[in-house]
Amino acid sequence: MSIFGGSNKNKWYYHLLSFYNCLTHVHNIFYYRDNRVFIVLTTDRESPSGIKVHTPLSDEIYNVLMDQNFQHMIINREIDGIKIYERPNPKQVTFYISFHSIHGYKKLLYIFRENGIHVEPRLQFHRDKFGSYVLLNRMYIADNIFVRYSTDFNDRIEGHPKIKDSTWRSAADSGHPYIYAVSRSYLLNHLYNLDYIKKYIENNSHIITFLTLTNHNGIIVPIPNIILSLSSNKLKTYDIYQVRIKEFDLSTNRDLIIDNPEEILRAFLG
């Protein structure tokens, strides 16, 4: 029988709230409580980017949060934080994991599995003769648990709407805009199609990215590069790992673009 049946839902939320209030006080970790939500943050970085893992507060996730291995991850600042709402919803629990803490994501997956969560990434992707692309809005790694990229946990970055985390949050919540990671072959096959550029690159209803790889402490991490504009053979892009706009020269750097994004993402997420 679920511990979250009926009136137990509020009881166990307040148990977690009280427990993490105590744990953060003892270990000098930032804790914030507002109306029906509490936040634990282990980092003071100005604008960290990375991934967020969203899930309802199920029996298994409660057990993860009370698992001593997970608590040690918080104490040792191996992930950047958690947010938990009282009200049940698909994003009731959020795990914040910056790119600099990405090893903590793999440890979190291990704790998920140890607590009965079957992790198996399920991606929405399309493949045809021109190449392939993957939808990044919600990348499910288990039943009701999904990952999304975050351009800035604090949502303070100004500038183009496509680089704002509020836009990426809306994409996860409502399905719009569509965020795609396109393969190298797909990008090159469509790059000089004026209708494609106007509809997908210049229009804010879609966010087109390509993936490059970075090796962070032995973990290969796929990084979305947001395409903002095209001029001649050069792309104006936003690298969410380096947190900056830069010029990407296709004549010299095209081989850096991943040609199998769905395989790379599946390996990283699982």
139: nearest Cα among 157, 119, 154: 119
Q: Coil, helix or strand for 13?
A: helix
- In this prediction, residue 1 carries a pLDDT of 46
Alpha carbon distance 210, 207 (integer Å)? 10
Beta carbons within 8 Å of 179's beta carbon, 6+ residues apart:
135, 136, 137, 168, 171, 206, 207, 209, 224
88: nearest Cα among 56, 119, 64: 56
Alpha carbon distance 218, 105 (integer Å)? 13
Residues 183 and 58 placed together within one structural domain of the fold: no
Residues 91 and 215 placed together within one structural domain of the fold: no
Question: pTM, whole model, 2 decimals?
Answer: 0.94
Give the phi and the psi of residue 116 in degrees, each rounded to 5: 85, 15
Residues 68 and 132 placed together within one structural domain of the fold: no
Residues 40 and 94 placed together within one structural domain of the fold: yes
> For residue 125, how many other CB atoms are within 10 A of its CB?
16
Residues 19 and 97 placed together within one structural domain of the fold: yes
Residues 188 and 69 placed together within one structural domain of the fold: no
47 in any annotated domain: yes
Report the chain's terminal Cα–Cα distance, integer Å. Answer: 29
CA-based angle 134:257:203, to the nearest 5? 55
Of 114, 147, 167, the one marking the end of a domain is 114
Residues 225 and 110 placed together within one structural domain of the fold: no
Alpha carbon distance 116, 213 (integer Å)? 31
Residues 88 and 22 placed together within one structural domain of the fold: yes
Q: Coil, helix or strand for 100?
A: helix
The residue to which tokens 């997908």 are assigned: 200
Per-residue pLDDT of the chain (270 residues; tens, 9 = 90+): 455 555 566 788 999 999 999 999 999 999 999 999 999 999 876 668 999 999 999 999 999 999 999 999 999 999 999 999 999 999 999 999 999 999 999 999 999 999 999 999 999 999 999 999 999 999 999 999 999 999 999 888 888 999 999 999 999 999 999 999 999 999 999 887 878 877 888 889 999 999 999 998 899 999 999 999 987 788 999 999 999 999 999 989 999 999 999 999 999 999
What is the largest distance, in Å, between two alpha-carbon atoms of the chain?
62
Domain count along the chain: 2
Residues 71 and 129 placed together within one structural domain of the fold: no
Residues 94 and 188 placed together within one structural domain of the fold: no
Domain span at 205: 125-138+175-269
- In this prediction, residue 66 carries a pLDDT of 97
The residue to which tokens 């029996």 are assigned: 59
196 in any annotated domain: yes
What is the H or E stretch that residue 205 is in? none
Helices (H), the chain: 8-26, 59-65, 68-75, 103-114, 165-174, 184-190, 194-196, 250-253, 261-269
- In this prediction, residue 4 carries a pLDDT of 54
Residues 202 and 224 placed together within one structural domain of the fold: yes
Alpha carbon distance 211, 184 (integer Å)? 9
158 in any annotated domain: no
246 in any annotated domain: yes
Residues 45 and 73 placed together within one structural domain of the fold: yes
159 in any annotated domain: no
Phi-psi region of 217 (alpha: psi -120 to 50; beta: other; left: phi over 0): left
38 in any annotated domain: yes
149 in any annotated domain: no
23 in any annotated domain: yes
